Amino acid sequence: MKLTDIIITANHNLFRSKTRTILTIIAIFIGSFTIILSNAINSGVNDFIDKQIESAGGDGYLEIMPTAVTENAVMALSGNGAVEYKETGNAPSEQPYITNEQIEKVRAIDGVESFDVLHTTTVDYITSNKIDKKYKLFNLNLVPRGNVNLDVTAGRKPDSESTNLEIALTEDLTKTLGFENAEAAIGETVTLAIPNTIDCYTAATHSECQRQVTATVVGVQAPGVMASGGPRANLALFEKVHELASDGMSQETKSQAYQATAQVDPARVDEIKAKLKDIGLTAMTIDDQVGMIRTFFDAILVVFNIFGGIALLAAAIGIINTLFMSVQERTREIGLEKALGMSSGKIFLSFSTEAILLGFWGSVLGIALSMLIGFGLNALAHATFLADLPTFNIVVFNPINMLIIALIIMLIAFIAGTAPAIRAAKKDPINSLRYE
Amino acid sequence: MPNTVIEAKNLTKTYGKKSAAFTALKNINLKIYEGESVAIVGKSGSGKSTLMHLLALLDRPTKGEIYVDGKNASNLKNNDLNKLRNERFGFVFQQFFMNANNTVLENVLLPLKIAKISRKERKKQAEAALKIVDLESKMKNKAVDLSGGQKQRVCIARAVVNNPQIIFADEPTGNLDSATGDKITDLLFELNKKQGVTLIVVTHDEDLAKLCNRIVRISDGKIISDQTVRKDYQKQASRKRETEAARVRNANEKKGGKK
Ligand SMILES: Nc1ncnc2c1ncn2[C@@H]1O[C@H](COP(=O)(O)OP(=O)(O)OP(=O)(O)O)[C@@H](O)[C@H]1O
Ligand SMILES: [Mg+2]
């Protein structure tokens, strides 16, 4: 028999006992569906993370904190009991803020291209000349320097090398501040109110101790993870805000900072991170920060894959069972085919093909339904919580992955089918023809 | 003298082992010539089917040898045995064995499908075979829906579809009324006479046996008589040999070329 004839005949034979075959296919489908959909969701999440990292650019961009701060946080979270206090003098690792000594050391490291200390900034409100209302601003962040991209729908990324006071708004804020659209906001100014720490100790009302600064809108950020950080200032504006807030403080207090960012040679990130650790600073790349999310989703994927695997194992037993029944039922037919000159090898092949076809249909069904549900989920997500992120799909289907999963399932089906197929191949034509 | 197509030498077949052992055939010697029609006659349980299965290479003897065209079949590889049966033998079994849920056409073309003959060609040949048994109109019907006589005719069509040299028929009229039985008989003897096909018919029906040119009687696994009634087959055989056998061989070569 030709291979095409074997496949066509096997498929025809399968659907002779429809109920049994369909039930077996459903069992395989449960496994394939679980594995395909959970892998597609995982790809979606990873894709999203990758896109964000990519859109952030950020090769060699580090966020830096004193190690003491991160350790304290870990200690507090893990509840690791009491730690004995030891007098360590002014050891840098014990400092909760970044010292001048540390700053100098960092700047001296080979491969560090820029290093910006982030002083804590508080902004009371933001407003523009288009509106009377003032809006609270919870967060003013620095635009990362160097090759970190800022996705803008209009204008450009604020220039950290410039001495002009520049700001990039978010799309939401652009509307709130009375600008018609993103384009219209470019070149306009916004006003920030900053409370001066010293003055506000003594002032009767907050407005008395506020200082104002006017910044030029140079860009509007596209929705995305970066935009969730709120409006972003260039270094000049950021320093200005800090200066207004700390005016009147001692030089030492003024310069205290708890965070810093650095742009380093991307090829030497690991080496520099190690050096920073020696200085008493912990650095994280954008990758490190999202790594935790990735690990979480990978763990979920493993759980789903195990579940799918167990379903497939049960399905494999179903395949063995259904094929043994079919060999039994078709004993005479096998005898006839052998009498008419079909070889044992071909008999084996035709039953194996039935097994593989069971796997094939189970996979096809799994792929079809998971794609249907996947696209449904994507549409639902875009209509609701992902409305701001039109480019992101929570379910991403990778054809090669799906093909590999289908092939593995067909291989499992083939292996399950070998025992019944061998039994069929071994049948003796005369005895089989006698079989009632 | 016509060619010997099948020769059995000292054939013994024992079923089962030890205390359950039963010797169904004892030391059978038999030569079958090209173009003959041989009836194997005997009581139920005498070993007729067993002998036919051995001659048709469907089963292996416990002792003795079978020669096909002078070649010892026990030296043949499984694949060659399969090919031999597939291309040169035609079978009509005691109970009509058909795949009940397949169409009549599918059933008839099964030997050709096994022989890897193309879809178009095998359909053509199967239709021709169905025409011989006058069942073209039932081609698309499911085998299960046919009457007993029609089923047996389908089996004849399947037996001749590959243009066999030898047809083995085990009680081809056994389950049929006499009118239908006669029709089947006519079909078989027409093939024998017109196309020189060697016919080996197992039967307990003396009337059917008398139509054959040779009657082999067996009892308790032994040949008790072997008479050649007529020799006219020899003329037919030699006449047909040049034309039909050449055609069959050509067809077989064509099939072989397709593999
Ligand atoms: N597989 C087997 N195992 C054991 N005994 C068998 C087997 N096949 C046949 N026999 C025995 O061999 C003997 C011959 O059987 P066979 O089928 O050849 O008889 P038969 O002459 O064709 O009879 P019938 O006319 O009833 O078909 C019987 O006694 C039968 O019981
Ligand atoms: Mg019999």
Mutate to test the interface with A, among B113, B122, B160, B258 (most CBs of A within 10 A): B113
For chain B, the residue count is: 259
The protein residues having their C-beta less than 5 angstroms from ligand 2 (an ion) are B 49
Interface touch B86/A340, C-beta < 8 Å: yes
- What is the pLDDT at residue A351? 96
Residues of A in contact with B111 (CB under 8 A): 340-341
**Tokens 């030709």 found at:** A2
- A-B contacts at Cβ under 8 angstroms: 52
- What is the pLDDT at residue A400? 93
- In three-state form (DSSP H/G/I as H, E/B as E, the rest C), the secondary structure along chain B is CCCEEEEEEEEEEEECCHHHCEEEEEEEEEEEECCCEEEEECCCCCCHHHHHHHHCCCCCCCEEEEEECCEEHHHCCHHHHHHHHHHHEEEECCCCCCCCCCEHHHHHHHHHHHCCCCHHHHHHHHHHHHHHCCCHHHCCCEHHHCCHHHHHHHHHHHHHCCCCCEEEEECCCCCCCHHHHHHHHHHHHHHHHHHCCEEEEEECCHHHHHHCCEEEEEECCEEEEEEECCCHHHHHHHHHHHHHHHHHHHHHHHHHHHC
Residue from the list B82, B85, B93 with its beta carbon closest to the beta carbon of A433: B93
Q: What band does A225 get if pLDDT is binned at 50, 70 and 90?
A: low
DSSP summary character for residue A231: -
Which residues sit with their C-beta closer than 6 Å to ligand 1?
Answer: B 15-16, 22, 24, 42, 44-50, 94, 204
A258: pLDDT strictly greater than 90: no
CB A136 within 8 A of CB A124: yes
Cα separation of A300 and A220, whole Å?
36
* C-alpha closest to that of A116 among A285, A262, A251: A262
A238: pLDDT strictly greater than 90: no
CB atoms within 10 A of CB A289: 14
The Cα-based distances of B232 to B5, B37, B112, B214, B215 in angstroms read: 18, 11, 33, 11, 15
- What is the pLDDT at residue A56? 64
- What is the pLDDT at residue B257? 47
Residues of B in contact with A429 (CB under 8 A): 58-59
- What is the pLDDT at residue A408? 95
Cα separation of A433 and A331, whole Å?
7
CB A414 within 8 A of CB A317: no
Q: What order do you get walking across the sheet with B63-68 strand by strand?
A: B22-33, B4-15, B63-68, B71-72
Compute the average pLDDT of residues A403-431.
95
Please give, rounded to a whole number of angstroms, the shortest distance from the CA of A394 to a CA of chain B: 48
**B147 touches A: beta carbon within 8 Å:** no
Please give, rounded to a whole number of angstroms, the shortest distance from the CA of B235 to a CA of chain A: 31
Compute the average pLDDT of residues A53-61.
71
Interface touch B111/A344, C-beta < 8 Å: no
Mutate to test the interface with B, among A340, A426, A433 (most CBs of B within 10 A): A340
CB B42 within 8 A of CB B201: no
pLDDT tens per residue, range A155-167: 998 988 889 999 9
- Domain spans of chain B, in order of start: 4-255
pLDDT tens per residue, range A282-334: 888 877 777 777 888 888 889 999 999 999 999 999 999 999 999 999 999 99
Q: Three-state DSSP class for A275? A: helix
A382: pLDDT strictly greater than 90: no
Q: What band does A47 get if pLDDT is binned at 50, 70 and 90?
A: confident
Predicted complex: ipTM over 0.90: no
**B101 touches A: beta carbon within 8 Å:** yes
Give CA A15 to chain center in angstroms. 43
- The residue contributing the CA closest to ligand 1 atom 18 is B47
Residue scoring higher pLDDT (A72 or A156): A156
A84: pLDDT strictly greater than 70: no
Lowest mean pLDDT of A227-236, A339-348, A365-374, name the range: A227-236
Give CA A359 to chain center in angstroms. 31
Q: What spatial distance separates the first Cα and last Cα of chain A, rounded to whole Å?
A: 26
- The residue contributing the CA closest to ligand 1 atom 7 is B15
As beta bridge partners, residue A214 has: A191
* C-alpha closest to that of B151 among B94, B87, B88: B94
Residues of B in contact with A1 (CB under 8 A): 113-114, 116
* C-alpha closest to that of A314 among A13, A19, A34: A34
Q: What band does A66 get if pLDDT is binned at 50, 70 and 90?
A: confident
Please give, rounded to a whole number of angstroms, the shortest distance from the CA of B228 to a CA of chain A: 29
Interface touch B86/A332, C-beta < 8 Å: no
Residues of B in contact with A340 (CB under 8 A): 85-86, 91, 110-111, 114
CA of B61 to the centre of ligand 1 (A): 14
Q: Candidates 3.40.50.300, 1.20.1250.20, 3.40.50.1000, 3.90.1170.40; correct CATH number of B4-255?
A: 3.40.50.300
Residue from the list B78, B83, B97 with its beta carbon closest to the beta carbon of A332: B97
Phi-psi region at B196: left, alpha or beta (left = phi > 0; alpha = psi -120 to 50)? left
A404: pLDDT strictly greater than 80: yes
CB A373 within 8 A of CB A36: no
User: At residue A286, what are phi and psi to the nearest 5 degrees?
Assistant: -60, -40
Closest residue in B to A347 (Cα) is B114
Burial A175-187 (b: 16+ CB within 10 A, else e): ebbbbeebeebbe
Interface touch A2/B116, C-beta < 8 Å: yes
- What is the pLDDT at residue B253? 62
Please give, rounded to a whole number of angstroms, the shortest distance from the CA of B113 to a CA of chain A: 6
The low-confidence residues of chain B, meaning pLDDT below 50, are 239-241, 257-259
Compute the average pLDDT of residues A361-386.
90
- What is the pLDDT at residue A147? 67
Give CA A114 to chain center in angstroms. 28
Interface touch A16/B115, C-beta < 8 Å: no
- What is the pLDDT at residue B250? 61
**A348 touches B: beta carbon within 8 Å:** no
- What is the pLDDT at residue A308? 92
Residues of B in contact with A346 (CB under 8 A): 114
The pick from B11, B13, B19, B22 for probing ligand 1's pocket by mutation, whose C-beta has the most ligand atoms within 8 angstroms, reads B22
Compute the average pLDDT of residues A95-123.
83
Q: What order do you get walking across the sheet with B37-41 strand by strand?
A: B89-92, B166-170, B198-203, B37-41, B214-219, B222-228
Residues of A in contact with B97 (CB under 8 A): 332, 335-336, 433
Please give, rounded to a whole number of angstroms, the shortest distance from the CA of B145 to a CA of chain A: 16
